[in-house]
Amino acid sequence: MDPREIRRRLLENLQGVRGRIERRRPQGGPEVKLVVVTKQVGPQMVQALFELGEREFGESRVSDALTKAQLLRLEGARWHMIGHLQRNKAAKVFGLFYMVHSVDSLELAEILARRAEEEKAPLEVLIQVNTTDEPQKRGVRPDQARSMVEHVSALKSLRVRGLMTMARLSGDAEEARPAFRLLSEIFSAVRNQGLVGPEFSELSMGMSQDYAVAVEEGATIVRVGSAIFEGLK
């Protein structure tokens, strides 16, 4: 496909996603950050997105993010780790990822904290909560979220910025609403109980199939890939 046509379609899709976010954002609600999920596209597509003004990119694998970041060296770009982080890969996030969305166990948090102390590089993290009770999904149970936030917040080299979840995959976006509403309720309860400070401000929820519903339920970060690359793969 001609590069100009790629840029035109990307811009059109981006405008569509951003427009839908604004239409669904509750009046007076939080600003919503769009993280473009680039795990299924190559460096050239990331470069095109950067030239169109995008700065937040999400990857599920450390190796893929590292390859793209080293090849492109996009000044001002921020990479988000949105997939499961294996404990033996924890050291590789430093100097690469701005934020890890998927801290799904206290053991992983402690490994990251020790490494952050060694690197003298505090790390922004989100606690992943399994709001759908699916055994194949990672994350702490909803009833464990409060305790997890308390424990991880005590690790001074980590900055706990909020919570993350994934809804059930479904062709009906409305089926995602209970998962998002539950996470929003947990988030509000943690804040209202005084367990965290104002830096605890992010709700990462919603992907291509359900981001509009997530925005209605209070998302501050949505992770969108296929809706942006529609017609380009």
What are 133-186's pLDDT values in tens digits? Answer: 998 899 999 999 999 999 999 999 999 999 999 999 888 999 999 999 999 999
For 113-141, letters b (16+ CB in 10 Å) and e give: bebbeeeeeebbbbbbbbbbeeeebbbbe
Q: What is the pLDDT of residues 172-189, one digit of tens each?
A: 999 999 999 999 999 999
Confidence of residue 233 (pLDDT cuts 50, 70, 90): low
Q: What is the pLDDT of residues 185-214, one digit of tens each?
A: 999 999 998 889 999 999 999 999 999 999
3-224 placed in CATH 3.20.20.10: yes
pLDDT surpasses 70 at 10: yes
The pLDDT, as a whole number, for residue 29 is: 86
In sequence order, the β-bridge partners of residue 33 are 221
CB 151 within 8 A of CB 106: yes
For 34-96, the DSSP string reads EEEE-TTS-HHHHHHHHHTT--EEEES-HHHHHHHHHHH--TT-EEEE-S---GGGGGGGTTT
In sequence order, the β-bridge partners of residue 140 are 129
Scanning the structure block, which residue is given the tokens 């539950």?
182
In sequence order, the β-bridge partners of residue 78 are 56
Scanning the structure block, which residue is given the tokens 């917040």?
153
